């Protein structure tokens, strides 16, 4: 397994649109294993392939306290959504920035696992918000892009300052 580099906002590669997976081979299983390892190491509760510069529709998620309930979603699709959530979000590609953005409280997602077996998942609360956040990454959208222009300017300034400090 390998730790993958996670792209940082405002990297343009975060805006690429991921393609559906058509082949469920050993390369896909390796990507999933590397993404899971990278998510746990970060640490995070989700990771989209886009964030590691792989533009395929693959997501890993684990919102459990014990970090022992990995969910792998390939080609995920929201088929139902209900309610409004007020859960604050973070992003491994936008470190130290947290905010709430418009999200449904509950979603029903259809996806495939890494072997190509289809399944349906009904999620609420943090899992629901995390799934919506990761699926946005696959569409090339980063959560801060829902914020006002003023907040986005502040985010960019904060990240530029962090980058300068770490250089």
| Among the listed residues 130, 135, 138, 155, the single contact to ligand K1U using CB under 6 A | 130
Question: Scanning residues 76 to 95, which ones bind Zn ion (CB under 5 A)?
Answer: 91
CA dihedral of residues 139, 68, 95, 20 (deg, nearest 10): -10
Which stretch in 91-99, 104-112, 117-125, 157-165 sits in contact with ligand K1U by CB under 6 A? 91-99
Closer Cβ to ligand K1U, 44 or 76, answer by number = 44
- What's the token pair of residue 31? 């990507």
- The option from Zn ion, ligand K1U, none interacting with 45 (CB < 5 to 8 A, set by class) reads ligand K1U
DSSP 10-27: T-GGGGPPPBPP---SHH
| Contact residues for ligand K1U, defined by CB under 6 A | 43-48, 89-93, 129-130, 133-134, 137
């Amino acid at each position: 397994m390998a730790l993958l580099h996670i792209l940082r906002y405002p990297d343009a590669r975060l805006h690429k649109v991921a393609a559906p997976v058509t082949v469920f081979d050993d390369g896909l299983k390796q990507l999933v294993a590397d993404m899971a390892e990278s998510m746990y190491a970060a640490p995070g509760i989700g990771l989209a392939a886009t964030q590691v510069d792989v533009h395929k529709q693959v997501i890993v998620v684990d919102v459990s306290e014990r970090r022992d309930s990995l969910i792998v979603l390939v080609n995920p699709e929201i088929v139902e959504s209900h309610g409004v959530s007020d859960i604050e979000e973070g992003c491994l590609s936008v470190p130290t920035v947290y905010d709430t953005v418009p999200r449904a409280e509950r979603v029903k997602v259809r996806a495939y696992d890494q072997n190509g077996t289809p399944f349906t998942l009904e999620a609420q609360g943090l899992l629901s918000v995390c799934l919506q956040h990761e699926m946005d990454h696959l569409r090339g959208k980063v959560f801060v892009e829902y914020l006002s222009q003023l907040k986005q300017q502040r985010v960019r300034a904060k990240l530029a300052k962090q980058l300068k400090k770490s250089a």
